[in-house]
């Protein structure tokens, strides 16, 4: 039997949510509560009629649409099979054995997996009240640090730091450290943090901003993400990215969805309305729910035992949330915001648990 490289033998693969039985309603994957743009769905169906051609390796129409919406130089946009692929390729390109990748205590778990795949060391900077702390990141960084990842808004916490703090982090980091700002949930926070300022950091050098069409655009199933990069970073990453990474239907659907900003904003606003009502109702039960800037909320129970009991009772009612034990938050469950009737069902179960 052939053996994998020694460092791969030592790590576990990235684990997705345990959805259990097929008839369970998932509040665990942070998928959109609402359908994607009708124009995106129509374009995708039409694209499936000619599957004999390879996809556009330059993602020309999609990059043009992204550039138009965000007023960005499309030549510095790279697209991936979800932002997960871009995160993986960033680390594969710029970190390896003896290098450090710094994330945060409750940052996106896949970053640790991607760092482990390259045999880089992954370090976690402490968060304060489930919120990224720039000073803790700076205290964690060492001369061996190649990349710093900041998930803003955070996953699984939903919390967010200001642009001023992100900018301070960039100014204070060494120029040879790549700062990656993961904004997979950025559209839910754009009313609070002007995205223009974040993208402007890329012009200052060695900063990357990644985004996803899985959440606010309702396209999790087609796997499209994108990022804005310094030119020298794009040059190196193109050597590692698969040239045919996004299918024809996925490209045309993502392009149409990006062009339909009205529909996307309607998804965001409806999601936020349901989220705020559900969070307030949870707080009224005595549960701790940090202010979220995403399409989910983190629910902190009085103990890990009560969280486990809530999970058991929710599953008994065919509802599954995401357990946070792997993040060191065993007393928490993360709830994706779904339709109002589903959130109401979830709340009724939580009422029984807290009684």
Indicate if the pLDDT at residue 4 is higher than 80: no
pLDDT (average), residues 75-82: 97
List the domain boundaries for the chain: 6-35+262-354, 38-260
Would you call the peptide bond into 153 cis, given omega within 30 degrees of 0 as the criterion? yes
Helix axes 248-259, 261-284, angle to 10 degrees: 80
pLDDT of residue 25: 93
pLDDT (average), residues 269-287: 98
CATH number of 6-35+262-354: 3.90.1150.10
Domains 6-35+262-354 and 38-260 share a fold: no
Indicate if the pLDDT at residue 330 is higher than 90: yes
Residue 191 confidence class, pLDDT cut points 50, 70, 90: confident
pLDDT of residue 15: 65
Residue 167 confidence class, pLDDT cut points 50, 70, 90: very high
pLDDT of residue 72: 97
pLDDT of residue 7: 76
Indicate if the pLDDT at residue 1 is higher than 90: no
Provide the token pair at 141: 């960084």
Q: How much of the chain exceeds pLDDT 70, in percent?
A: 97
332, β-bridge pairs: 300
The CA–CA distances, whole Å, from 184 to 5, 97, 150, 210, 295 equal 31, 28, 11, 7, 11
pLDDT mean across residues, the chain: 94
**Greater model confidence, 22 or 152:** 152
Indicate if the pLDDT at residue 332 is higher than 70: yes
pLDDT (average), residues 227-249: 95
Indicate if the pLDDT at residue 6 is higher than 80: no
pLDDT (average), residues 305-333: 96
| Coil, helix or strand at residue 100 | strand
pLDDT (average), residues 184-200: 88
For 299-349, what is the HEC assignment?
Answer: EECCCHHHHHHHHHHHHHCCEEEEECHHHCCCCEEEEECCCHHHHHHHHHH
On whether the 38-260 domain is CATH 3.40.640.10, my answer is yes
pLDDT of residue 20: 66
Q: For 10-63, how does the pLDDT look when each residue is reduced to its tens digit (9 = 90+)?
A: 777 666 666 666 688 999 999 999 999 999 999 999 999 888 889 999 999 999
pLDDT of residue 51: 87
Provide the token pair at 164: 């001023």
Indicate if the pLDDT at residue 227 is higher than 80: yes
> Is 330 exposed, middle or buried, given 0-12, 13-18 or 19+ CB atoms closer than 10 A?
middle
Provide the token pair at 281: 């109702």
pTM for the full predicted model = 0.93
pLDDT of residue 14: 65
pLDDT (average), residues 297-317: 97
């Amino acid at each position: 039997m052939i053996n994998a490289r020694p460092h791969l033998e030592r790590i576990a693969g990235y684990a997705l949510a345990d959805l259990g039985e097929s008839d369970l309603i998932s509040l665990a994957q942070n998928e959109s509560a609402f359908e994607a743009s009708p124009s995106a769905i129509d374009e995708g169906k039409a694209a499936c009629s000619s599957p004999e051609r390879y996809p556009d390796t330059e993602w020309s129409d999609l990059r043009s649409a992204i550039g138009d919406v965000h007023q960005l130089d499309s030549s510095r946009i790279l697209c991936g099979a979800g932002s997960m692929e871009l995160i993986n390729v960033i680390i594969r390109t710029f970190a390896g054995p003896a290098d450090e990748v710094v994330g945060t205590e409750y940052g996106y778990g896949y970053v640790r997996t991607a760092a482990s795949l390259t045999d880089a060391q992954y370090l976690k900077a402490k968060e304060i009240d489930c919120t990224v702390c720039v000073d803790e990141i700076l205290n964690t960084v060492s001369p061996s640090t190649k990349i710093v990842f900041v998930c803003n808004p955070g996953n699984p916490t939903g919390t967010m730091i200001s642009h001023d703090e992100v900018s301070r982090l960039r100014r204070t980091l060494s120029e040879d450290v790549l700062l990656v700002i993961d904004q997979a949930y950025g559209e839910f926070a754009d009313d609070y943090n002007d995205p223009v300022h974040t993208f402007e950091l890329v012009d200052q050098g060695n900063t990357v901003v990644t985004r996803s069409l899985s959440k606010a655009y309702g396209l999790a199933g087609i796997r499209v993400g994108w990022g804005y990069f310094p030119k020298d970073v794009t040059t190196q990453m193109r050597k590692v990215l698969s040239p045919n990474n996004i299918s024809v239907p996925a490209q045309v659907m993502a392009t149409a969805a990006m062009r339909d900003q009205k529909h996307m904003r309607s998804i965001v606003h409806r999601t936020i309305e349901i989220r705020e009502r559900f969070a307030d109702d949870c707080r009224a039960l005595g549960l701790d729910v940090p202010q979220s800037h995403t399409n989910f909320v983190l629910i902190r129970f009085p103990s890990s035992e009560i969280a486990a009991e809530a999970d058991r009772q929710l599953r008994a009612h065919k509802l599954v949330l995401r357990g946070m034990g792997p993040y060191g938050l065993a007393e928490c469950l993360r709830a994706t915001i779904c339709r109002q009737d589903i959130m109401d069902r979830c709340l009724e179960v939580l009422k029984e648990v807290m009684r």
